[in-house]
A and B are shown apart, each in its own frame.
Chain A
Amino acid sequence: MRKADIVSAVILFVGGLITIFVIIPLQTTEGEKYGLPPAFFPTCSMVVLTVLSALLLLKGLFSSNKDTDPPAPLDSRSWLNIGLLSALLFLSLAAIKYLGFIIGGILMVASFMIYMRERRLITISLVSLITPLVIYIVLWKFLRILLP
């Protein structure tokens, strides 16, 4: 966990500096002379974040309880898992966008079920077909919401 804290503190610290000195000036206007400029509040919050990240980094570097440190929260299996699941989610979003909610939804539910090691074809077919269909029909019939 200590190593993870150090790495995340470094990322946050560098990200904070880039945001303060590059992103905020580029993405905000000067504002009027009266009152505070639009950049004031985002800058304040980012300064707080950057300073705290620096403190977290120092705390991680000079931490005394190295022996009792809990294990790293993210191992290679976690990275693979979140990578695959993120890809699945964005592919499902693209499928919903281009093929519509029902087909995209069927693909999404089926792929998640397969990923979760469901191997019964009938269960996969029924659940992945029924769920998006029921959601679509209920929302349209009762709430007049048309899904894509």
Chain B
Amino acid sequence: MNKIKSFTHWLLLGLILFSSTSMADKKLINIAGWGGNDVVAVNKLLTTVIKSELDELNIEVRYFPVESDYGRYILNSLSAGNAPDAFYVNVDLIDSWVSTGQLKAFSDSFAANAQRMNPVLLDAFTVDNQLFGVPKDVNSLALQFNIDVFKDAKTPVPDENDTWLTLREKLVSVVEAIGDEGVLGTCLSADFAHFSPFALSTGWRPFNEEGKTVLDDNFKRAFNFYVSLVHDGLAIIPADIGQNWPGGCFGTENFAVVMEGQWLSGYLVDKSPNLLYQSTLIPADPKTGERGNMLFTVGWAINNNTANASDVEKVIALLTSDKAQRAILAAGLALPSSNTIVLPAAAEDSPSEQMAQTILTASTLDNVIPYKFGRYGKNWQTPIDVALTAAMLKQLTIEQALSEAQRKYDEMIMISTNKQQGEQ
């Protein structure tokens, strides 16, 4: 009898101790995202900006950066069952990840609050009328120009009134004046992401109403212009000078203009910190008078197997709140996805702040679509990339390159429809 008594005493004591400690314990939420600058950004948010709100909710958040192959890491851990509660999802992967059933839709109240964000972005993360990701920042393309190059070439700098043709004239003027010093007009990447502003400004869209990809005359017009810059000696591709991307070219200070996103400023700070540059909008299509652009964004998504979805939602709400986005913007780490944030006036000697303003303006114009391609993912853009490369390097004529690309798109759509029918 005594033994049983003492046993129950110990048991009760243990239970009390256990429950008291667990009540004082914070709820732990694991989140994961990219490495690099994101570590700085997220840690900044967690340790200073939203710390008090998290403490009030009795939540502890741990950020786990993934250095490389982020997509693979997330898919692996989802299949192993030890994935974090919330994680980044790139906008071009949202459809394919949702189809695996591993993401949880956000609640209606959350979605309502998110309406203050850029509608194009929200739509990009919406599948079957449910919101699966909430954009944490936005990026788009602008035209950056090297002030010293234009000054030495005695050419007026590009501005918002430029069309493709007037920009071209300015590049010709630069190359004629100081081309012998090794200066070139611009550096063009043979990939759809960089080519998109031209293609989209003509009114063309990657998928028409029937969901097919048709490279129509509008597309051809943009393609012609883009490739002709290389053919006429006004532009080169980055690989020609051992670079990987147009930003790398621009950093060599031998290029008049380049078309890149906000990430260029961080790169230039290290590569050529004294480069004097400004940004303006990418020129408009002379025929339609309109501009086009691509929205690049990353969102937070919830793991479908998470234990406490409402807490995770609260954390994500804090991470993407206006307060958080303002802090990130002030630190120059990313541009806000929320439309209710008013940008402070750019400091005069800060080209990066001026670029931010330009890009945010660009992201609100017409013909702006998100960087996603349905279930095809990024592989969708490969035929256009191949066509651009082949045409730029003169391995194929423009006609041949485009017809080959169109053939591949017809095949792609056909395989996909067969697959869908097979699954039904």
Same complex for A and B? Answer no
Q: Please give the residue numbers on chain A whose beta carbons come within 8 Å of chain B beta carbons, in ascending order.
A: none
